Chains A and B, each alone.
Chain A
Amino acid sequence: MQAIEKDFPILKRQVNGRRLVYLDSAASSLTPEPVLAAMNQYYREYRSNIHRAVYRLSEIATQKYEAARARVAGLINSREDEVIFTRNTTESLNLLAYSLSGSLSPGDEIVLTEMEHHSNLIPWQQLAAKNKLKLSFIKVDKRGVLDLKHAESLINEKTKILSFTHASNILGTINPVKKLVNLARKFNTLVILDAAQSIPHIPVDVKRLDIDFMAFSGHKMFGPTGIGVLYGKHALLEKLQPFQFGGGMISEVSFNHTLFADPPLRFEAGTPAIAEVIGLSAAVDYINKLKMQHIKSHTQSLAAYAISRLSKVPGMEIYGPKSAKSRAGLVSFNIKGIHPHDLASMLDKAGVAIRAGHMCVMPLVKQILKQDAVCRASFHVYNTKKDIDVLVASLKTSSEILRR
């Protein structure tokens, strides 16, 4: 693992005079050297716009941009023209909510789950209010797992959209995608997968899972910020309305009429985040080099170790499934009587970066877990058991100081 640490220059720095222990990869992962180098190379050697110019630099940039699409397609086992570049998961989901709105009529139903991030809740909530759609939520049970019986009772012939997260960013739960897809296939229901938390850690094969659309972000999978992906089955993308209009998304324009380009370009209006796409491509290469299976087993073993060590801390309450096998590489918790923000602030003094708050999943935290906020430690391939030892030790000290 030491060789991997070396790939991440930020891990060399100190925070508050201490070695940085970065435990917030579920919010944003660190960036390895090859990704930085790829973006740097673009800016230094072939910086130019893509798709339209005929000069050499633009040709290189266009090739690299389109090669990135192929790389991402390879990672998720899709066709190249099924990969749309967006800003992030949130934008991908907003694109869908906007572009699908025309095909939904009052009374249609959208099914989500109680563990959705705000990005997979608010776009649908707002759309439902505007188009008079019914919104319902698959229940999360006491273990932090989706109630599939309840799911079955919610999905019916009126359900036009089933959108859910692959892995919960609070509970860590990995949801049974295939089972949910099978429920949707009994009806004419589109299945949308929020893969923001799963793509960086576990193999995701869109063909095998048979999902219709999928959204994820580059910055959680070693890529730069500002770049995300929307995957869509080609036949569906062909019928989907454009999200934004402008340069790059057309095939022919007159003063009064426009013929749109075919997907994916139809959904990429304006100059895209070229450097970031190239960076994302390098991030996919990096994942392939490390092997996704290895990343999965490493982060899951860290989660298992964290759960076993944390559960011995006095006053500890851990949320989500107890078994690391059904979890993404993260653990959310609270220490009784101590505010998560105080813990996070104190841990910062020890160089430990954890997250505290509602993690953009306010309904789950407030209404289901009945907490104001939680702490979350999340892991990636550059973390080690030693990081968790530092976390546990500093939590113990902090809670002794803060206990009333």
Chain B
Amino acid sequence: MKRKTKAQESIDPTWLGNVADDNLYRENILDHYRNPRNFGKLVRYTFRHKDTNTTCGDELEIYALLKKNKLQEIRFFGRGCAISIAAASMLTEYLKGKSMQELKKVSQEDLLKMLGINLGPVRKKCGLLCLKALTNALKEKHEKACC
């Protein structure tokens, strides 16, 4: 235990390079995380749904208002990590104005492409939480409509 342990107080430049190269927290993601688009709740909505990421307990709620089969307004609300907030921000931005048919067609691949980052198996659940909420919301809406 005699070994000298010099505290690494300063930011290690090689590591910073590493973080920047890796696009997990690139500027685009951080921007959507710091200033999430469509964040909040809707008082008037056609459907809403809350979902949870079981690995970390994060919760995300989606509110959608349809008009003439088009998504006129969409909001999301909840707590989450940078990845889940950025993903929800990007997804809701993309969905606005889309038709019900288009809404149903959004796939995991589409969302991952929007994020443009390489997510491991655990972090993928963060990135896809908003889509899980949307998919389950649509399923619920469908079930209500036919029963």
Contact = CB atoms under 8 A, between A and B. Distances in A.
Interface in B1-22: 1, 3, 5-12, 14-16, 18-19, 22
B56 A402 contact: no
B9 A393 contact: yes
B30 interface: yes
Contacts of A163: none
Interface in A385-404: 385-386, 389-390, 392-394, 396-397, 400-402, 404
A384 B3 contact: yes
B121 interface: no
A389 B5 contact: yes
A349 interface: yes
Contacts of A18: 14-15, 18
A385 B1 CA distance: 9
A389 B8 contact: yes
A321 interface: no
Nearest to B80: A339
A28 B27 CA distance: 34
Interface in A1-30: 1-2, 16-18
- Size class of the contact patch on chain A: 35 or more
Contacts of A396: 11
B42 interface: no
Contact of A339 (B5, B22, B34, B81): B81
A349 B126 contact: no
B33 A404 contact: yes
Given A362-B57, A372-B56, A404-B33, A346 B3 contact: no
Contacts of A358: 56-57
A340 interface: yes
A307 interface: no
B3 A402 contact: no
Greatest chain B CB density within 10 A among A341, A389, A394, A397 is at: A341
Contact of B10 (A298, A341, A393): A393
B12 A350 contact: yes
Interface residues of B, number: 32
Contacts of B67: none
Contact of A357 (B3, B5, B25, B55): B55
A356 interface: yes
B18 A350 contact: yes
A14 to B, nearest CB: 12
Given A339-B80, A393-B12, A402-B25, A2 B3 contact: yes
A364 B58 CA distance: 16
Contacts of A390: 8
Contacts of B71: none
A357 B126 CA distance: 12
B141 interface: no
A366 B56 CA distance: 11
A363 to B, nearest CB: 11
B4 to A, nearest CB: 9
Contacts of B15: 18, 349-350, 394, 397
Contacts of A298: 1
A397 B12 contact: yes
Contact of A342 (B11, B57, B81): B81
Contacts of A384: 1, 3, 5
A404 B81 CA distance: 12
A49 interface: no
B24 interface: yes
A1 B1 contact: yes
A292 to B, nearest CB: 17
Given A340-B81, A393-B11, A401-B30, 10 more contacts: A18-B14, A341-B81, A342-B82, A345-B25, A350-B12, A366-B57, A372-B79, A392-B8, A400-B11, A402-B82
18 contacts: A1-B3, A16-B18, A339-B79, A341-B56, A345-B123, A346-B19, A349-B22, A350-B15, A365-B57, A372-B56, A372-B58, A373-B58, A385-B5, A392-B7, A393-B10, A397-B11, A402-B82, A404-B34
